[in-house]
Amino acid sequence: MCNVYVNADPILYESRTRALRIHGVVTTVRLENLFWDVLREIASRENMTTSQFVAKLHDELVALRAEEPLNFASFLRVCCLRYLSMAAARDEAAGDVPRNAPFQPRVVKTAV
């Protein structure tokens, strides 16, 4: 079982910092490449760029919490994991994935 995880392409867990503009303010976010890939996939489904989608998440979080997020990178990682777990649950419910099958992320191509 561990080979599913240990044999992951090292580029997937290499970190990358991106500069994003949120309301005219440039901020940097450092995430592992796989998380950037998942964010790009979600943004594409929403017909947005990754930057637009991240800014929208930021705005919705600030509107909900009425304050700036303390650890926005962690929030983005949790968003990605929630997206992937909900997708896996939908696939399992639809019978597309056998129960207890090793999780295989749908995002496999990494742009560097």
Q: Does the pLDDT at position 108 exceed 90? A: no
CATH number of 74's domain? 1.10.3990.20
HSE-CB at 70 with a 13 A cutoff on CA atoms is 0
pLDDT in tens, 44-94: 999 999 999 999 999 999 999 988 888 999 999 999 999 999 988 888 888
- Report yes or no on 72 lying in a domain: yes
State which residues form the domain around 37: 9-93
Rounded distance between C-alpha atoms, residue 70 and residue 11, angstroms: 27
- Report yes or no on 2 lying in a domain: no
- Report yes or no on 98 lying in a domain: no
- Report yes or no on 41 lying in a domain: yes
- Report yes or no on 60 lying in a domain: yes
Q: Model confidence at 106, in pLDDT bands (50, 70, 90)?
A: low
What is the number of domains present in the chain?
A: 1
- Report yes or no on 34 lying in a domain: yes
Rounded distance between C-alpha atoms, residue 27 and residue 10, angstroms: 26
pTM beyond cutoff 0.85: no
- Report yes or no on 101 lying in a domain: no
User: Are 84 and 105 contacting, i.e. CB atoms less than 8 angstroms apart?
Assistant: yes
12 contact partners, CB below 8 Å, separation of at least 6:
32, 33, 34, 37, 110
Q: Model confidence at 105, in pLDDT bands (50, 70, 90)?
A: low
- The amino acid that residue 51 corresponds to is S
Secondary element (H or E) of residue 100: none
